[in-house]
């Protein structure tokens, strides 16, 4: 075999890619074990340095270019305001996952720069190589920055910013929903959406959804301001919405969490005392039932808008090309946390609000009508009568 520059380059690039995959998953690669990763990475990096074509890197982008952006430019680049970015940085600065020293004689990467890198990754579809070039760091550093920020957010901020309303907050949530059109007792709007992913290596067919693409299911509840109060992600796209609900903590704890009130959802979910769904349209609905369905739908739309905003701001969710399902789920959950932080700090969102393409999927009715419980049926009938004025 004749060795040439192109052949060596391809081999080196493939080796680096394999090592980066192992780093991303936090596991040893099938071909490299333990400390071998370090030696292989160094050798492959050196080979790439010899044969790789010149790349256009932006010098001191985080330190000198970003500070010169005006507010409009900053929002266009990072999908949020500079003020919101500073709030996020303050939440993360003391997280132990981000208190790290430099390696190989290099200065440690500042928390702000790690957050910039992660937001750039979440906000677009640039490859790891392109992100590395923009921020003047290696591909492995991009993966590590993302890993550290994800770990810090999930371990320190998730439960703080995604939480079910309680006590006074619960009543305020109910009141704000009722102010929309008079529908009483709503504590949240529930629905699911599909996050497109690369076909997994194992059980790929189980991740194919009704629209025939591979996806992960994200189930969420939000309040009237589109802030998520409960998120559950990771089930394969082929799973029915009702099945995902049954396997979430919300199914077991919904009655207690709602405290006499209720969440609302579409007909894909079973009717419960704590979960109200529309009357099934059999062509013979009464005025009361039609009015109930209309009022419920007008409130339920907030979760559809929340999903549209989530995917519009964090465009990486339009297709997750990660090496593992675990990483994909973590990226989804981190995006939900950041979504809430933006809304809590009144970050403008009109430029990012999009129609969730997952809404084009045909909706499924609850798997069996007998899943509707009697208490839910009675409660729905009473509310329907009251809202119709009878």
Dump pLDDT digits (tens) for 239-253: 999 999 999 999 999
Residue with tokens 């996952």: 97
DSSP-H helix ranges across the chain: 5-25, 36-51, 71-78, 82-92, 111-123, 128-135, 139-156, 158-161, 167-181, 241-246, 249-258, 287-313, 325-344, 374-387
Q: What is the pLDDT of residue 27?
A: 47
> Cα separation of 41 and 34, whole Å?
12
Compute φ and ψ for 218, nearest 5 degrees: -115, 115
Mean pLDDT over residues 225-248, rounded?
97
Mean pLDDT over residues 121-127, rounded?
97
The region of weakest confidence among 18-22, 48-52, 226-230 is 48-52
Predicted confidence band of residue 38 (pLDDT cuts 50, 70, 90): very low
Supply 7's token pair: 């052949």
The region of weakest confidence among 54-68, 95-109, 285-299, 353-367 is 353-367
DSSP 60: T
The region of weakest confidence among 34-48, 102-116, 203-217, 335-349 is 34-48
pLDDT exceeds cutoff 90 at 255: yes
pLDDT exceeds cutoff 70 at 12: no
pLDDT exceeds cutoff 90 at 319: yes
**Which of helix, strand or coil describes residue 383?**
helix
> Cα separation of 78 and 85, whole Å?
9
The region of weakest confidence among 102-106, 129-133, 327-331 is 102-106
- Give residues with Cβ within 8 angstroms of 272, minimum separation 6: 254, 255, 372, 373, 375, 376
pLDDT exceeds cutoff 50 at 29: no
> Cα separation of 185 and 347, whole Å?
28
pLDDT exceeds cutoff 80 at 108: yes
The region of weakest confidence among 97-106, 150-159, 174-183, 215-224 is 97-106
Predicted confidence band of residue 354 (pLDDT cuts 50, 70, 90): confident
Q: What is the pLDDT of residue 147?
A: 97
Buried b (16+ CB within 10 A) or exposed e, 7-39: eebeebbebbebbbbbbbbeeebeebeeeebee
In SS3 terms, 265-284 reads as CCCCCCCECCEECCCCCCCC
Smallest CA-to-CA distance from 257 within 178, 336, 170 is with 170
* Displacement of CA 268 from its chain's centroid (Å): 22
Q: pTM for this one?
A: 0.85
Higher pLDDT, 390 or 295: 295
Mean pLDDT over residues 75-99, rounded?
95
Predicted confidence band of residue 231 (pLDDT cuts 50, 70, 90): very high
Q: What is the pLDDT of residue 298?
A: 97
* Displacement of CA 120 from its chain's centroid (Å): 15
* Displacement of CA 348 from its chain's centroid (Å): 19
Predicted confidence band of residue 104 (pLDDT cuts 50, 70, 90): low
> Cα separation of 278 and 52, whole Å?
60
Angle between helices 325-344 and 139-156 (to 10 degrees): 60
Quote the Cα angle for 228-231-236, to 5°: 140
Angle between helices 325-344 and 5-25 (to 10 degrees): 70
Q: What is the pLDDT of residue 2?
A: 44
Q: Please, are residues 28 and 22 in contact by the beta-carbon 8 Å criterion?
A: yes
- Contacts within 8 Å (CB) and 24+ apart, 42-45: 43/15, 44/12, 44/15, 44/16, 44/19, 45/16, 45/138
Q: What is the pLDDT of residue 361?
A: 54
pLDDT exceeds cutoff 60 at 342: yes
Sheet strands side by side (includes 275-276): 228-236, 215-222, 186-196, 262-264, 275-276
Round the average pLDDT of the chain to a whole number and report it. Answer: 87
Query: What pLDDT, in 10s, does the model give residues 179-206?
Result: 999 999 999 999 999 999 999 999 999 9
Q: Please, are residues 320 and 196 in contact by the beta-carbon 8 Å criterion?
A: yes
Q: In percent, how much of the chain has pLDDT > 90?
A: 74
Mean pLDDT over residues 313-327, rounded?
96
Burial of 290 (0-12, 13-18, 19+ CB in 10 A): middle
> Cα separation of 384 and 390, whole Å?
9
């Amino acid at each position: 075999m004749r060795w040439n520059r192109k052949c060596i380059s391809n081999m080196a690039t493939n080796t680096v890619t394999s090592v980066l995959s192992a780093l991303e998953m936090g596991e040893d690669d099938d071909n490299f074990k333990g400390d071998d990763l370090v030696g292989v990475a160094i050798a492959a990096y050196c080979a790439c340095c010899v044969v790789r074509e010149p790349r256009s890197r932006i010098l001191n982008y985080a330190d000198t270019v970003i500070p010169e952006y005006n507010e409009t430019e900053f929002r266009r680049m990072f999908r949020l305001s500079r003020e919101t970015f500073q709030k996020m940085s303050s939440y993360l600065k003391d997280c132990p996952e981000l208190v790290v020293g430099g390696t190989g004689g290099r200065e440690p990467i500042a928390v702000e720069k790690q957050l910039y890198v992660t937001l750039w990754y979440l906000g677009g579809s640039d490859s790891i190589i392109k992100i590395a070039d923009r921020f003047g760091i290696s591909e492995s550093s991009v993966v590590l920055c993302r890993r550290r920020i994800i770990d810090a957010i999930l371990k320190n901020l998730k439960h703080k910013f995604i939480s079910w309303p309680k006590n006074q907050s619960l009543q305020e949530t109910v009141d704000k929903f009722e102010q929309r059109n008079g529908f009483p007792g709503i504590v949240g709007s529930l629905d699911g959406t599909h996050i497109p992913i690369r076909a997994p290596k194992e059980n790929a067919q189980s991740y194919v959804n009704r629209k025939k693409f591979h996806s992960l299911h994200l189930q969420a509840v939000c309040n009237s301001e589109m802030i998520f109060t409960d998120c559950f992600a990771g089930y394969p796209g082929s799973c029915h919405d009702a099945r995902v609900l049954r396997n979430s903590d919300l199914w077991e704890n919904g009655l207690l969490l709602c405290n006499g009130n209720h969440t609302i959802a579409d007909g894909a979910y079973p009717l419960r005392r704590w979960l109200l769904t529309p009357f099934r349209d059999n062509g013979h609905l009464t005025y009361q039932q039609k009015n109930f369905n209309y009022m419920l739908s007008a409130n339920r739309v907030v979760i559809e808008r929340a999903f549209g905003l989530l995917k519009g701001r964090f465009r990486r969710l339009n297709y997750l090309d990660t090496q593992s399902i675990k990483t994909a789920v973590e990226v989804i959950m981190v995006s939900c946390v950041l979504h809430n932080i933006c809304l809590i700090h009144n970050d403008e969102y009109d430029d990012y609000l999009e129609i969730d393409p997952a809404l084009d999927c045909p909706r499924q009715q609850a798997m069996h009508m007998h899943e509707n419980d009697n208490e839910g049926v009675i409660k729905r009938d009473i509310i329907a009568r009251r809202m119709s004025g009878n």
